[in-house]
Amino acid sequence: MYSEANERKIDELLTHYPVKRSAILPALFIAQEEHGYVTDEDVKYLARRLEMRVNEVEEVVTFYSMYSRKPIGRYKLQVCRTISCLLVGAERITEHISDKLGVRVGGTTGDGKFTLQEVECLGYCDLAPCLQVNFDYHERITPERVDEIINELK
Amino acid sequence: MTKVLTSRFDLRGGACDIDVYLKTRGYEALAKTLKEFQPDQVIEEVKKSSLRGRGGAGFPTGMKWGFVPKESKRPKYVVCNADESEPGTGKDRDLMRYDPHQLIEGMVIAAYALGARDNYIYIRGEYWYIKEILERAVAQAYERGYLGKDVLGSGFECHLYVHPGAGAYICGEETALLESLEGKRGHPRLKPPFPAVVGLYGGPTVVNNVETLAAVPWIMVNGGEAYKALGTEKSGGTKMFTVSGHVARPGNYEVPMGYPMMRLINEEGGGVAGGRRLKAVIPGGSSVPIITPEEAEKCNMDYESIAAVGSMLGSGGLIVMDETADVFETTRNLTHFYKHESCGWCTPCREGTRWLYKVFDRMARYEGKPGDIELLHDLADKILGKSFCPLGDAAAMPVQSAIQKFRPDFERRIKQTLIQIQAAD
């Protein structure tokens, strides 16, 4: 189902726990890496691989905010909206990205490249405001810095 | 000031490499512990240190370790709670990315004390790059014999795995974390039984915060008494504080317990930004009651002193607000957070946080009705102490304290009051 390297990664994960099911969270990250989101096939495949029922995988996928069951942009721009970021201008950053890309919060650009999301506390309170692009953190973000980051990815 | 936790921070990423760590007295505590201490004596030493859980609850660490039964049919586990997600807190992030071996060393010592072979670090999924730093450090520790089948030739077998969360504040609650680690939704478990008796996979389990475990090597090298002496009589040792919000130098600072709050804000934090006046402080992460500048003046950074003004030390996330802050808005922001993060398991929290936000939302549009402030207070009351886990209390306390101490910010949001204010102008 996945690349050889990723299949090996899952095999290795299974050695970490006494029950296979424990590997579901890291395995779902692998699924997302391969397909961009968690597909129906991923759910079925991982259920078989980890000896879970399909609905058990489904209830896990839908509980955690880092998984998506729908296609999203190649770059996920996540602006932290929680208190410490709010106090130092997170809303301005979100508005700036929204204007620049012409998408609303939650939306994806027409070319499928960028998805804009507001997320809860990312743990960068002392380095606020914070923007996460896929797995990369950007601290003390400004509208100018946002422009640079987006232009690099375009 | 003695640095227990952050002594290698000046090296920045440098201490991620095991050779740098070894050159700065790294793994000395583990070698000493395995050689000179029986497992029970380790627990005694930690009890002497008066170290308390640094994740928020502040439970005495040695006592928590002491609850783990010595004989157990099921395997025992040490689990590190690295799911740092309390708004206002970013200390564990730096402890892991600047000094991952210190945490690993603390975990191996804890595992030795409790007789645990397999151990886990549960790190929030967003900290992916830190997970990779930890994995590299764990691999190095295996190579050098600080982890593995026979740790430093002592016969003690110890394994450590890094496990990612996937975006859920509730998984910082220890029993929800264990559910999540077992591959399920992060719903809290009923306590008792406490994890120390029935925890991960049904085995006795100790769940400790990153900062708690990172303090253990220093304690084993220098002794519990020496650690305790760094702080106050009742709150021993040092603590990391994340200072954020309206300060000139936001950052993570390690200071002794009992350090004056205003000194932390004005010296380490560089004071309120732009020379503006202080309006409010949330002293221990978003879940604790907000305090006024007058109360902050009276506070030292220890459990007792902050409790004396009706708040809590919590996770040590100090959120500073200047006179431009609107406490209604910041409280609405936090209510949105708790509504989003409520796991849905119990009714008071699941429904209560949504209702709270609904009222906040109409007040945000200046369409609050007379009685809405009382309604907010009453709704918070219906959650407080009635939810399955502490998330409900965490949602309710900030609302009640904000109304009590910053009522004018709420009153402006009531439509009729606003009309009166405008008419008077």
Instruction: For residue range B76-125, list pLDDT tens digits in order.
Output: 999 999 999 999 999 999 999 999 999 999 999 999 999 999 999 999 99
| Cβ separation A123–B93 shorter than 8 A | yes
Same domain, A45 and A89: no
Sequence spans of domains, chain B? 9-228, 238-322, 327-424
Structure tokens at B314: 């919590």
- CB contact A59 to B (< 8 Å): yes
Alpha-carbon distance of B62 to B231, in angstroms, equals 17
Given B87, B128, B164, which is nearest A82 (Cβ)?
B87
Within a domain: A9: yes
Domain B9-228 classified CATH 3.40.109.10? no
- Residue A88: list chain B partners with CB under 8 A: 245-246
CA distance B293 to chain A (A): 17
Range of the domain at A86: 75-153
pLDDT of B80 reads: 98
Indicate if the pLDDT at residue B415 is higher than 90.
no
Alpha-carbon distance of A133 to B287, in angstroms, equals 27
Same domain, A148 and A101: yes
Same domain, A31 and A96: no
Q: What is the mean pLDDT of residues B196-220?
A: 98
Question: What CATH code would you report for B327-424?
Answer: 1.20.1440.230
| Cβ separation B333–A136 shorter than 8 A | no
Identify the domain boundary among A34, A63, A92. Answer: A63
pLDDT of B208 reads: 98
- CB contact A24 to B (< 8 Å): yes
Same domain, A106 and A137: yes
CA distance A144 to chain B (A): 21
Cis peptide before B256 (omega within 30 of 0): no
Within a domain: A136: yes
Q: Position of tokens 């050159």?
A: B23
Instruction: For residue range B324-353, list pLDDT tens digits in order.
Output: 999 999 999 999 999 999 999 999 999 999
> How many domains does chain A contain in total?
2
Within a domain: A68: no
- Residue B85: list chain A partners with CB under 8 A: 120-121, 123
Same domain, A58 and A80: no
Query: Which pLDDT band holds residue B420 (cuts at 50, 70, 90)?
Result: confident
| Cβ separation A66–B126 shorter than 8 A | yes
Indicate if the pLDDT at residue B364 is higher than 90.
yes
Within a domain: A70: no
Within a domain: A43: yes
pLDDT of A154 reads: 87
Instruction: For residue range B281-293, list pLDDT tens digits in order.
Output: 999 999 999 999 9
State the amino acid at position B82 in one-letter form: A
- Residue B243: list chain A partners with CB under 8 A: 126
Same domain, A42 and A106: no
- The candidate with the shortest Cα–Cα distance to A120, out of B384, B316, B126, is B126
pTM above 0.90, yes or no: yes
HSE (side-chain half, CA atoms, 13 Å) at B329: 12
CATH number of the structural domain spanning residue A79: 3.40.30.10
Q: CATH topology for B238-322?
A: Ubiquitin-like (UB roll) (3.10.20)
- The candidate with the shortest Cα–Cα distance to B337, out of B121, B110, B123, B86, is B86
| Cβ separation A125–B90 shorter than 8 A | yes
Give this complex's ipTM. 0.98
Annotate B49-91 with three-state secondary structure.
HCCECCCCCCCEHHHHHHCCCCCCCCCCEEEEEECCCCCCCCH
Identify the domain boundary among A14, A35, A63. Answer: A63
CATH number of the structural domain spanning residue A30: 1.10.10
Q: Which of A13, A49, A52, A63 would best serve as a mutation to test chain B binding (most B beta carbons within 10 A)?
A: A63
Q: Give SS3 for B17.
A: coil
